[in-house]
Amino acid sequence: DAKTTQPPSMDCAEGRAANLPCNHSTISGNEYVYWYRQIHSQGPQYIIHGLKNNETNEMASLIITEDRKSSTLILPHATLRDTAVYYCIVRVKDFGNEKLTFGTGTRLTIIP
């Protein structure tokens, strides 16, 4: 079963901030939220991850709500190269083993 819910698609104007939401209402206390993106025919690229505090790196910012049931990935100044499918995942422990489940993601299109 998918552990996260994301909108299937979003558009954003070039130069604007892209805000991608993710719901993870069943997240447990020790589970991190990870974001990846995938450009066509390539492997997914790691963007950022967090537990409960907001995080920022050179690519993006991650805002996690206080109850940790949802998060938002922010690309502060979107460029055409940010057009990709963005995946939000929660690392889940399954019978003592770690299994990572990806949903269908959000297809982000940056509009010139």
Partner 1 sequence: DGGITQSPKYLFRKEGQNVTLSCEQNLNHDAMYWYRQDPGQGLRLIYYSQIVNDFQKGDIAEGYSVSREKKESFPLTVTSAQKNPTAFYLCASTRDPGRSYNSPLHFGNGTRLTVT
- Which member of 29, 43, 53, 81 binds partner 1 (CB under 8 A)? 43
- Restricted to residues 63-92, the positions that interact with partner 1 (CB under 8 A) are 87, 91
7 in contact with partner 1 (CB under 8 A): no
- Restricted to residues 22-41, the positions that interact with partner 1 (CB under 8 A) are 30-32, 34, 36, 41
52 in contact with partner 1 (CB under 8 A): no
Contact 22, 70 (CB under 8 A): yes
Tokens at 29, concatenated? 């206390």
Question: Order of strands, edge to edge, in the sheet holding 18-23?
Answer: 18-23, 70-75, 61-64, 55-56
Q: What minimum distance in Å lies between the beta carbon of 3 and partner 1?
A: 12
Q: Which residues bind partner 1 (CB under 8 A)?
A: 30-32, 34, 36, 41-46, 49, 51, 87, 91, 93, 96-105
